[in-house]
Structure 1
C-alpha cells in the first residue's frame, strides 16, 4: 500500500472516530405521566412520539438507544432528575421549566409543543359553585410546582382574586380525581381530564380559561440540557426534527379522529373527553412549534407571575432562554416553513 493510500485510510479511520465521538450512546427523554391506566401517557405530541417511535427509528441505524421516562411526580420530579444529570430532554408545561431555570438548571427551550390549552374549574357536584369568587375558603386540590398551579393563579388573578383566597391541597393528578370523587376536596383546576368525572356526575365544570379570554390556559415546551445540546448538536437537531414532525401530524385536520383515538388509548380516558375538548379547536394554533410573539410573550408573563407569587426569586429573560435555531432548521429540513403562521394573539378556537 503506497503512502497516499495509507494516509487516506488513516484519515477515514480518524474521521469515523470523530463522528462516533459526537454521537450519544443513549438519549433520555422525560414527560409527566398523565395516564389513568397502566400505559404511560403524556398527552399531545408526547403520545405521538412515544407510540409511533419516530425518534427511535431516527437513531436505529447507529444503535443509539432512546429511553423514555414518565414521572408521576410531573414537573418537580423531572426538574430533580435534570439537576442530577439523569435526563437530556423533557416535555413539560410552563411552570416547571421556569422554576428549574430560576434555580440554576442549564436548559434551553427548543420547540413550543402547545399553547392556549384550555383549563377548567372542576367542582364537586353537590356544591353550588358557579364562579371563581365562590371558591373563597374552599379546598382546591392541585399538584404544586406544575403548570396547573400557575394557570390557576393566572385565572384567579384575571378575576381579581389571589391563591390566598383558597386552601390548596397538594395532590397528584390521579389523587385529585379520587379526592373529588370521595369529597375530600371541594374543587380543582386543570385540563380536559375532568370531563370524565363530569360525565359520571361527580363534578361540574362551571367556568374555564376560554371564558377568561385565555387567562388560565397553559402552554407546553420541549427543552434540552445545555450540556447535551452543546456536546451533540447534530443529534439535538435530529430529535427536534422528529418533534416538529409529530406536531405537524397533530396540526392536520385529517388526523383529528386519529389523535382522539391515540390520546384515549394511551391515557385510558374515554375518547369522548378528547373529542369534546378538541371540538372547534384551531390545531395550527394549538400545536405550532414556533417561538412567535404570542408564545414568547405568554412565557414572559408566566415568568413575571411566578416571580410576583414567590414561586421563583430570580428573573428570567424569555428571549435569551429560547433557542429557535433548531426548530427553524427543522422547518427547513421538513419543508414546513409556510405551514404554521406566527401570531400575536390567542386563537385557540377556529
Structure 2
C-alpha cells in the first residue's frame, strides 16, 4: 500500500512539485530505513518497539539538516533520548523537506517507517481518509498564520478585488482551508479565480514576473512583502482562531495501541518542550531556532507578533474545543471538495489521553489556559 499511497497523495501536485516530491521521498525513505533498523511492533503487541522514529520538517543550515520548533527543543534537551535509553529503546529523527512534507510523511506512516510526526492538519486528514490510521496525540501550539499576498503594483485590497485573477495556491496543503473559509465568508468560490497549483518555492518568481496576481502562503508571505515583491492584504490574524493552519504531533494508531508507555514518554517530551518555549526568558532563543535555515529572524518575530497571542499561550498543548472544531472543519472541507473519498471522523482522530496525562506528570495542569479559563478571561475583558 505504501508506494501506491504516496503516488495518490501527490497526484494533485504540479509536475515540478511531483518531481520534487519523488526526490524528497527517496531521501526520506533512505533515512527512515536507517532510523528504523530496530524491531517494530506488528500492532498486535507481540513485539515491543526497539526504536521510536519521529519525522518532522527540517531545513538545511550550516551544512546540516536542523529541526525547528518543538522537535528541535526535544532533540536539544535530550530528556526523551535518555528516558528511552533506560528502556533499551533507540530514538531516531527523520528530516523531511518542507516542499514535500505532507505526502512524504504520509508515505512514512503508510509504510510504518515512522511512528510519530509533527506536521500539518490537511495532510493528516488525507492520510486517515486514505486508510492510514493516525491519532492526534498532542497539539503543537496555537496554529500558524496564513497570508494573502498580491503582486507589487496590483490595485487590490480585498479578496473580492481578485475575482477572475490568477492566484497561486498549492492544493491540498494546510493553507488551503483558511483560504476556502475566506472565500465562503465573502460568498465566493474557487471557480471565481484562476487557481495556479504551484509549490511555494516557485511562487516568488511567479509573483514577481506577473505570472500570478496573488498567492496564499504561511510566513513566507511576509518575506515577499519585505522584499518588495508583493503586499499582504489579508491574514488569519483578522479571522477566528480555528482558521489558522495547524500542525500537531500525530502517531500511528497501531504504535499507540501496542506501545502506550513509549507514546506517553514522547508526548511528555513535547509538552516539556512546549513549557520551555512558553517561558518568556527563552523567547529570543525560540525565535532564533525557528529561523534557522527557514526565515530571517525579523520575519519569524513579525509572524509571532501577528498572532496577537500571549507568548505563553503561543505554545499551549492543551486540547481546547477550538482545536476539535478546527479538525471537524478540515475533515468536512476535504470531503466536500473532493480532496478525499472517505469522510474522516475528526473526533475519533483526537486522542487526548496522553497530553492530559503529560500535564499531570509535569505538574502543568494550570500552566496554560483551559477552555474554562479562556472563556472567563474573555468575559472579563468584555466589561
Task: Give how far 1:254 is off.
Answer: 2.3
CA distance, structure 2, for counterparts of residue 133 and residue 158 of structure 1 = 11
- 1:327 matched to 2:355: yes
Shift of 1:205: 0.5
Query: In the alignment, is residue 29 of structure 1 matched against residue 57 of structure 2?
Result: no
Structure-2 residue corresponding to 1:234: 261
State the alpha-carbon separation in 1 of the partners of residues 330 and 342 from structure 2: 13
Alpha-carbon contact 1:28-1:66 (below 8 Å) kept: yes
Distance in 1 separating the partners of 2:48 and 2:353: 20
1:30 and 1:325 map into 2 onto residues whose CA distance is 22
Give the match's secondary structure for 1:81: helix
What's 1:45 paired with? 70
- After the TM superposition, which residues 169-180 of structure 1 pair with which residues of structure 2 at under 5 Å, given as runs? 169-180=196-207
Match of 1:16 in 2: none
State the match for 1:207 in structure 2: 234
Structure-2 residue corresponding to 1:272:
298
Matches within 5 A, 1:1-350: 23-33=48-58, 40=65, 43-61=68-86, 62=88, 64-71=90-97, 72-214=99-241, 216-267=243-294, 269-279=295-305, 280-343=308-371
User: Compared with structure 1, are the counterparts of its residues 127 and 86 closer, same or farther at alpha carbon in structure 2 (3 Å cutoff)?
Assistant: same
Deviations 1:43-95 (A, max 9, x none): 53234334545433443443613132313312122212221222211112211
With over 3 angstroms needed to count, the CA separation of the structure-2 counterparts of 1:111 and 1:311, relative to structure 1, is same
Instruction: Please give the alpha-carbon distance, in whole angstroms, between the structure 2 residues aligned to 1:98 and 1:63.
Output: 29
**Shift in Å at residue 305 of structure 1?**
2.1
Distance 2:93 2:367 in 1: 30
TM-score by length of 1: 0.84
Shift of the 202–36 alpha-carbon distance from structure 1 to 2, 3 Å rule, reads: farther
Structure 2 distance, partners of 1:169, 1:33, is 26
3-state SS, counterpart of residue 132 of structure 2? coil
Distance 1:210 1:66 in 2: 36
* Separation of aligned partners in 2, 1:74 and 1:233: 26
Structure 2, unmatched stretches of 5+, are 1-45
1:286-320 residue CA offsets vs partner (Å, 9 max, x unmatched) = 32212221211221122222222222232232222
TM-score by length of 2: 0.77
Secondary structure (helix, strand or coil) at the match of 1:316 reads coil
Task: Please report how far the alpha carbon of residue 109 of structure 1 lies from its aligned counterpart in structure 2 after TM superposition.
Answer: 0.9
* 1:36/1:201 CA distance change after superposition, 3 Å: farther
Give the superposition deviation at 1:229: 1.2
Q: What is the deviation of 1:132?
A: 0.9
* Change beyond 3 A, Cα 1:301–1:36: farther
Higher Cα Rg: structure 1 or 2? 1
Distance 1:160 1:101 in 2: 30
Distance in structure 2 (CA, Å) of the matches to 1:258 and 1:334: 22
Quickly say closer, same or farther: Cα 1:135–1:109, change in 2 above 3 A.
same
Which residue number corresponds to residue 5 of structure 1?
none
Q: How many residues align?
A: 328
Q: CA deviation at 1:36?
A: 8.9
How far the C-alpha of 1:98 sits from its partner, in A, is 1.0
2:116·2:251 contact (CA, 8 Å) conserved in 1?
A: yes
Deviation at 1:330, TM superposition (A): 0.8
Counterparts in 2 of 1:130 and 1:53: CA distance versus 1, 3 Å: farther
Change (3 A) 1:173 1:51: farther
Residue pair 1:32, 1:75 contacting (<8 A) in 2 also? no
Matching residue of 1:10 = none
The 3-state SS of whatever aligns with 1:59 is helix
